[in-house]
Structure 1
Amino acid sequence: MKFRWLLLFAVVPLWAHALEIGERLAPWTLLDQHDQPFTLDDRTTTLLVARDMDGAKLLKQAMADQPKGYLEARHAVFVADIQRMPALIAKMFAVPAMRDYSYRVLLDRESRVASRYPGAEGAVLWLQLKDGRLLARHEYTQAAELREALEQARP
């Protein structure tokens, strides 16, 4: 019986943090791979979130051969949760490599933003927004499907 109560109390906080359709996203600011700040505002229509390296690689595959400004033209932003990456590796190797990407990567170094949006690891969470409110959510685990969704999200 005690186990059931313990389980219930462990799961209740997860429900409290679930983002519901129609809910307004709280604004946040993160630095990108060039140390330039970005603040989530009402102009953003698509928020892409990768919780781990596999999710980030998935977006990189989907963005292969896309021109610079591709995401920005679609009012989309990409958040990469890099909290679990050792700081030395991030500073010396990963972030410098990201500077060559044709798209902006917002670096969530402390998982304070990505943790607001529950989703599976190894996937890219797609949050469709309008005026700062959540319209729909999708998860992509295949680069081809993500690429197709990005193509359909024309400006």
Structure 2
Amino acid sequence: MRTWRFWVLFLFAMPGLALALEPGQRLAPWTLLDQFEQPYTFNDDLQVLLVARSMKGASLVHAALKEQSEGFLEARKIMLMADISHMPSMISTLFAIPAMKGYSYRVLLDRKGRVAPRYPGDKEKVLWVMLDHGRFVGQREFDSEEALKDALQAKSK
């Protein structure tokens, strides 16, 4: 009887677990709205997914992109996802999302924490997920504006 309860609890908890991605693994599809309420659906064209899980990570990305022109990320087949599920909805609605509307880049908002946990990494760093036709290739983490800026510039070559 105990074993049965364990497996039931395990299966219910499983969707919330962040499992390591394996090279060559096809990523599950998802759709998120950006700061303008426009949908984006994960597709095979995406080459890099940046994941910011905290204010520190989001600030790092913003600092690395502040001098870039509009369309910089999209031209390089890069998308930015911000996990704002931990943010109180009043704060996100009144302050954070309106501020993001002034950015020169698109921010996909994971409001419920359904998608970002699929990509394991340090919460305080920016995760760089490398993709090839919808398949996981590898990942890097950044905790420095300069290192992220250098990686973005190298991606543009």
Equivalence for 1:74: 76
Distance in 2, matches of 1:135 and 1:112, equals 22
Equivalence for 2:97: 95
SS at match of 2:146: helix
Q: Taking structure 1 as the reference length, what is the TM-score of the superposition?
A: 0.89
**1:47 counterpart = 2:49:** yes
Equivalent residue in structure 2 for 1:21, among 16, 19, 23: 23
Task: Return the offset for 1:111.
Answer: 0.7
Task: Return the offset for 1:17.
Answer: 1.9
Equivalence for 2:144: 142
Distance in 1, matches of 2:134 and 2:140, equals 17
Structure 1: state its 5+ residue gaps.
1-8
Equivalence for 1:61: 63
Identity %: 50
Alignment of 1:110-129 (within 5 A): 110-129=112-131
The C-alpha deviation readout for 1:99-154, integer Å capped at 9, x for no partner, is 00000000000110001001101111001101000111000000100010000111
Equivalence for 1:4: none
Equivalence for 1:33: 35
Q: Taking structure 2 as the reference length, what is the TM-score of the superposition?
A: 0.88
Task: Return the offset for 1:15.
Answer: 7.8
Structure 2: state its 5+ residue gaps.
1-8
Distance in 2, matches of 1:82 and 1:15, equals 18
Aligned residues: 147
Distance in 2, matches of 1:132 and 1:32, equals 20
The C-alpha deviation readout for 1:57-96, integer Å capped at 9, x for no partner, is 1100110210000000000000000011110110011100
Which portions of structure 1, spanning 4 or more consecutive aligned residues, are displaced by more than 6 angstroms? Answer: none
Counterpart AA for 2:75: A
